[in-house]
Chain A
Amino acid sequence: MDAHIRIEGVTFYRGDRMIFDDISMEIPRGQITAIMGPSGTGKTTLLRLIGGQLVPNAGHVYVDGQDVAALSRSELYTLRKRMGMLFQSGALLTDLSVFENVAFPLREHTRMGEDMLRDMVLMKLESVGLRGAHALMPAELSGGMARRVALARSIALDPDLIMYDEPFTGLDPITMATIVTLIRRLNDAVGITSLLVSHDIHETLSIADVVYLISEGKVVERGTPDTLSNSNSAWVKQFLQGLPDGPVPFHYPAPSLAEDFLGQRDA
């Protein structure tokens, strides 16, 4: 199997806190890979490492065989033109209209004539169902619409990899289903490699081909949605079934109750 992204022995610290501890994974080309895990396990950090916005303390991230951290600035920018990233907030440019937002990467990187640019932008907007909204400003969009515009923008340059950062968070059920369908359709139609970071179990398992579960800087489990659902691991069961207590404790580490409430009297 051809790996689009290879992560080899990556260790990453944020300040003194270890985010990744010698983590390795492979993202297969042309498939939908999901990375799941509790909040705060560095899922977004992983995307930033792949995009070259952060540099690992140890280990390597290879995209298309290129070591991202070793690239020069212009090589990195060339690589990024082939990557799309969908931010959780959408990250639309608030001073530009929907049309101009989708046109932004095209204007920056190509020398398309105005007619052709218009066709391209409307085509991208059509694919997310928002051609009619091209004149609106980002402030006039609902959360779900903003994310769809951002999706149209991230596919404007026809990338061969798209990274989705929490694409389902904070959406109503209908919009959520729309996004799920869009991700699947983009993947099936043009064979884009999709990397999806999420903790929405149901939606993610419904579209992913491969799933990585990470926790505390390690890969806990890797497999297809089916193998994970049948896993015997107590951790995987707790996460997939959403149980409040288990191997991942409900309580943040704390001194014992007796010490906290009664300790003062002894002192």
Chain B
Amino acid sequence: MLDGFAALGHATLAALQKLGRAFLFLLATLGGLPALLPRPRLLLKEFFSVGVLSLLIIVVSGLFVGMVLGLQGYVTLSKFGAEESLGVVVALSLVRELGPVVTALLFAGRAGSALTAEIGLMKSTEQLSGMEMMAVDPVKRVIGPRYAAGFLSMPLLAAMFSAVGVLGGYFVGVGIVGVDEGSFWSQMQSGVDWREDVLNGVIKSIVFGFVVSWIAVFEGYDCVPTSEGVSQATTRTVVHSALAVLGLDFVLTGLMFS
């Protein structure tokens, strides 16, 4: 009984400590970002590996999610004779919810896990330590560019996801099941509000990008420097990112659309 309490207390303290470390780490990372300004090439390189290389999975997933939305939306809407609204249904689902959320989940799996593993392995092979001894701050040189690249690419990827998703919905809705093309686009145009829908979606993806990239680089930097430690950290990145994204999505949706 007492042992159980002690273990609970121990786990809570450890979690709080880790949270504290994560916040201090975030501050150090953000503080180091201005050092990137004179060296944009460092950022471009990470942008490529974090953002550009994630494009394929984002675009393909976006296309399929859009096509599924087109089909499902048509089946439900046609029951009420409202299939002309298919365009607005597809666009709103993507721009408000699926674009930011699914992109963030895919991004955590594709780029977040890679970031954690890369940084964790750099730590376990003493590369970070070696940099420190060369009087180079690894938080500025290694973490900063990766973090910035992660959190800047997320809104762009989410926008790409939504755009391709709308096209997917269009192919299925107009091309296959035969919704009128004019009403598909005009309903979308009148039903989707720039500020209310698009901007809120962008804000969501910025928040998700900030959090997922933070979790990914922190888990890598904080991992136990062994093969087991790196693998656990990579798993934690994906699990914690997914939970954080879904939880935050609920909170943000509540704040934005209530």
Contacts and interface: CB of A to CB of B under 8 A. Distances in A.
A108 B134 contact: yes
A92 B133 CA distance: 12
A218 interface: no
B125 interface: yes
A87 B130 CA distance: 7
B134 A105 contact: yes
Contact of A53 (B125, B129, B137): B129
Q: Per DSSP, are chain B's interface residues mostly helix, strand or loop, or mixed? A: helix
A80 B133 CA distance: 6
B135 interface: yes
A93 B135 contact: no
B134 A87 contact: no
A80 B135 CA distance: 5
Contacts of B131: 93
A81 interface: yes
Contacts of A80: 132-135
A108 B125 CA distance: 21
Interface in B100-159: 122, 125-127, 129-137, 141
Contact of B136 (A85, A92, A108): A108
Contact of A87 (B129, B135, B136, B137): B129
Given A80-B135, A105-B134, A94 B129 contact: no
Contacts of A91: 125-127, 129-130
Interface in A64-90: 77-78, 80-81, 83, 85, 87, 89
Contacts of B126: 87, 89, 91
Given A105-B136, A108-B136, A108-B141, A85 B125 contact: no
B103 to A, nearest CB: 26
Interface size for chain B: under 10, 10 to 19, 20 to 34, or 35 or more residues? 10 to 19
Contacts of B127: 91-94
A51 interface: yes
Contacts of A154: 134
B177 to A, nearest CB: 49
B49 to A, nearest CB: 10
A87 B141 CA distance: 20
Given A87-B126, A93-B127, A51 B134 contact: no
B135 A109 contact: yes
A85 B141 contact: no
A104 interface: yes
Contacts of A94: 122, 125, 127
Given A87-B129, A154-B134, 19 more contacts: A51-B133, A53-B132, A77-B135, A80-B132, A81-B134, A87-B126, A87-B130, A89-B126, A91-B125, A91-B126, A91-B129, A91-B130, A93-B127, A104-B136, A105-B134, A108-B134, A108-B135, A108-B136, A109-B135
30 contacts: A51-B132, A51-B133, A53-B129, A53-B133, A77-B137, A78-B135, A80-B132, A80-B133, A80-B134, A80-B135, A81-B134, A85-B130, A85-B133, A87-B129, A89-B125, A89-B126, A91-B125, A91-B129, A91-B130, A92-B127, A93-B122, A93-B130, A93-B131, A94-B122, A94-B127, A105-B135, A108-B135, A108-B136, A153-B134, A157-B134
Q: Which 10 A-B pairs give the minimum distances between C-beta atoms?
A: A91-B130, A80-B135, A91-B126, A77-B135, A85-B133, A81-B135, A105-B134, A108-B136, A87-B126, A89-B126
